Amino acid sequence: MADISRPSASPGASPLFLREDEIRRGVELLYFGYTRLTNAIDQELGKQGLGRAHHRALYFIARQPDLTVGELLRLLAITKQSLGRVLKELHDRDLVVTKTGSLDRRQKLLRLTDKGAVLESELFAQLRERLSAAYVTAGQESVTGFWHVLEGLVPESDRQMVFDLRKEKS
Amino acid sequence: MADISRPSASPGASPLFLREDEIRRGVELLYFGYTRLTNAIDQELGKQGLGRAHHRALYFIARQPDLTVGELLRLLAITKQSLGRVLKELHDRDLVVTKTGSLDRRQKLLRLTDKGAVLESELFAQLRERLSAAYVTAGQESVTGFWHVLEGLVPESDRQMVFDLRKEKS
DNA sequence: GAGATATGTCAGCCATGTTGACGTATCTTG
DNA sequence: CAAGATACGTCAACATGGCTGACATATCTC
């Protein structure tokens, strides 16, 4: 059993070992790709005294203005207490505003202020720089492959939520 | 400027907006794909009283037996104090052993114990399940595209280190 | 032998997640 | 319309896993 964690790299390795190596390659690239991409914005965030948790909230609010608190909670998959702290800080810094929902007055709709939008787009610019460089190097075909594999990693139950980010709110 | 963070979805959108949407799609899929994949092993880790930090160390030690502490530090990109805590816990639980380097006696070479190898392969099985399902759904061409884009996200300075994981130690 | 390097460790701090409990406003339903 | 469900907020305590700074030891290199 212990051998499974150490595949042979010999030329005649069995299909099982090749498969293992392909999986490990994916795990590692996903780890390094994701962490190095997020590292790209840490310096900028640090200047503002914010952390990654703040960026995730800013990002999704930018992506879908008038997002409700509940929707954001589902996207981030954290507790409302954790999110509450983050939203409070964003609000205190005039980066985010909330307004009462018009259809359901219990809901709070989230939006970036102008200041928040400026910050988010500065952060996004860093992500764009890295990701578009990777897209260009890899080519359009690779990019669609990249998307397909990642879509397959999102559990069925979350997939609609993720796809809906690309739509305008109704 | 604020508009940049909210692309139009209209059919006649300019190339700039299409480009933005492609970047955001990648950011989101990378976020959801990575976090959902790592979620897959949280339950198993919890049973052992370990966290993700422990898994990352276990993973890389499994991947490259006789890895030195310094190499692991560079892979994880954390401080030696943080790693020290993790390695101590893994050692206390008989999951990892160290031996003095033969070429350079200052180094400590890290290896999994049999018990550690069993645990790592159980965790890896979860990752394999998710990732291979995504590979199969997407198809081999998509998988190579997935790898190419992610390789482009790893900074030049880290790339050799990441590629070297696939080799045996000399 | 002097200085650089690899590793370990103490101590304290911070960011960001968790659980549990409880309050208020608003919507929905019998 | 009253009762219960839902959306949101908040207090308090705690866990994980990062961080900095300071300092010690063994070993290697020149």
* pLDDT mean over B19-27: 95
Q: A52 in a domain, yes or no?
A: yes
Phi first, then psi, for residue A112 (nearest 5°) are: -80, 145
Phi first, then psi, for residue A99 (nearest 5°) are: -135, 155
**Beta strands at B96-100 and A108-112: parallel, antiparallel or unpaired:** unpaired
Nearest residue in B to A129, CA atom = B23
- At A92 the pLDDT is 96
Q: What angle do CA A139, A141, A145 make, to 5 degrees?
A: 115
CB B152, CB A134: distance < 8 Å = yes
- Cβ contacts (< 8 Å) between B25 and chain A: which residues? 147, 166
Q: Residue B17: which pLDDT band, with cuts at 50, 70 and 90?
A: low
- At A109 the pLDDT is 98
Identity of the residue in A6, A155, A166 whose CB atom sits nearest the CB atom of B25? A166
B82-96 pLDDT, tens digit each = 999 999 999 999 999
B5 or B58, which is more confident: B58
Least confident piece of the model among A25-29, A59-63, B9-13, B107-111? B9-13
3-state secondary structure of B41: coil
* pLDDT at residue A87 is higher than 60: yes
* pLDDT at residue A153 is higher than 70: yes
Mean pLDDT of chain A: 91
Q: Do B6 and A131 touch (CB under 8 A)?
A: no
3-state secondary structure of B110: strand
Cα separation, B67 vs B101, in Å, equals 10
A17 has a chain B CB within 8 A of its CB: no
Q: B5 in a domain, yes or no?
A: no
Q: Which residues pair with A97 in a beta bridge?
A: A111
B163 has a chain A CB within 8 A of its CB: no
Mean pLDDT of chain B: 91
**Beta strands at B96-100 and B108-112: parallel, antiparallel or unpaired:** antiparallel
- Structural domain total, chain B: 1
* pLDDT at residue B2 is higher than 90: no
Q: A105 in a domain, yes or no?
A: yes
Q: Residue B10: which pLDDT band, with cuts at 50, 70 and 90?
A: very low
CATH number for position B88: 1.10.10.10
Q: What angle do CA B147, A131, A139 make, to 5 degrees?
A: 55
Q: Residue A167: which pLDDT band, with cuts at 50, 70 and 90?
A: confident
* pLDDT at residue B146 is higher than 90: yes
> With the C-alpha atoms ordered A89, A93, A95, A97, is the resulting torsion angle positive or negative?
positive
Distance to chain A for B93, nearest Cα, Å:
17
Q: A169 in a domain, yes or no?
A: no
Q: Tokens 């059919």 map to which residue?
A: B11
* pLDDT mean over A48-72: 97
DSSP B113: -
Cα separation, B99 vs B124, in Å, equals 25
Q: Residue A99: which pLDDT band, with cuts at 50, 70 and 90?
A: very high
3-state secondary structure of B99: strand
* pLDDT at residue B16 is higher than 60: no
- Domain with A108 in it: 16-164
CB A150, CB B32: distance < 8 Å = yes
Q: A100 in a domain, yes or no?
A: yes
Q: Residue B167: which pLDDT band, with cuts at 50, 70 and 90?
A: confident
Q: A5 in a domain, yes or no?
A: no
- At A11 the pLDDT is 46
What residue is closest to C17 (Cα–C1')? A82
* pLDDT at residue B13 is higher than 80: no
- Residue A39 CA distance to nucleotide D11 C1' (Å): 34
* pLDDT mean over A97-107: 97
Cα separation, A37 vs B152, in Å, equals 10
Q: B29 in a domain, yes or no?
A: yes
Phi first, then psi, for residue A142 (nearest 5°) are: -65, -35
Transcribe chain A into DSSP letters. -GGGGS----TT--HHHHHHHHHHHHHHHHHHHHHHHHHTTHHHHHHTT--HHHHHHHHHHHHSTTEEHHHHHHHHT--HHHHHHHHHHHHHTTSEEEEE-SS-TT-EEEEE-HHHHHHHHHHHHHHHHHHHHHHHHH-HHHHHHHHHHHHHHS-HHHHHHHHHTTSPP-
Sequence-separated (6 or more) residues with CB below 8 Å from residue A25? B147, B166
Q: A11 in a domain, yes or no?
A: no
3-state secondary structure of B100: strand
- At A17 the pLDDT is 61
Residues of A numbered 46-105 whose beta carbons fall under 8 angstroms of chain B's beta carbons: which are they? Answer: 56, 59, 62-63, 65, 77
A122-146 pLDDT, tens digit each = 999 999 999 999 999 999 999 999 9
- Cβ contacts (< 8 Å) between A146 and chain B: which residues? 26, 29, 142, 145-146, 148-150
CA distances from A101 to A69, A70, A167, B19 (A): 11, 12, 19, 32
